Each structure stands twice: as structure tokens, then as C-alpha cells.
Amino acid sequence: MMQLVRDWYVAREVDHDESLTETLMEWFSRRPSLRDVTVFVADGVATLRGSVPTNRDRALAIELAWDAGSDDIQDDLKLTRPLAA
């Protein structure tokens, strides 16, 4: 989906996938535990790749992807710390 936005009074098209990717990368960069997460968005589906230290951080990354407007999420995240036995 494309939408028109004003950028210094010049109308330009913004790709939803590109906008979603930029938003998520900015949000993830603000959280130290999510800085190793990369995002790929295609047709509204956000694919999360990389590593996170805990399941709580995995859940946060997924929640942020939903909040940013993803239509669906592919979770390819790996835990860097193994769970205690």
C-alpha cells in the first residue's frame, strides 16, 4: 500500500513496508537487548532475525512489530542465553 506524505511541502509516495522497517529499526535501536535484531518487511509481514538474550526480549520485539502495524510476523529470533535446566 502506498500513501502520499508531505516532505518539506513536496508530496512523495511512501512504501508501507519501507516505513514499517524504518520504524522498527529505530525502536529496536533504542533498546540495548534488541540491537542485534534485524527486520525485513515484505507485503506487511515483518521477519525478525538475530539474537536476543531472553524470551522476554523476544516477546517485546514481537509486540513492537505488532504495534508498528505489521500484518503478520515471522519470528526467526534466537536466544543468546540458554534457559536454565
What pLDDT score does 81 carry?
74
* Domains of the chain and CATH, by start: 2-79 (3.30.1340.30)
| Full DSSP string of the chain | -EEEEEETTEEEEEEHHHHHHHHHHHHHHTSGGGTTEEEEEETTEEEEEEEESSHHHHHHHHHHHHHHT-SEEEEEEEESSPPP-
pLDDT digits (tens, 9 = 90+) for 28-41: 999 999 999 999 99
pLDDT digits (tens, 9 = 90+) for 38-73: 999 999 999 999 999 999 999 999 999 999 999 999
Q: Is the pTM of this model over 0.75?
A: yes
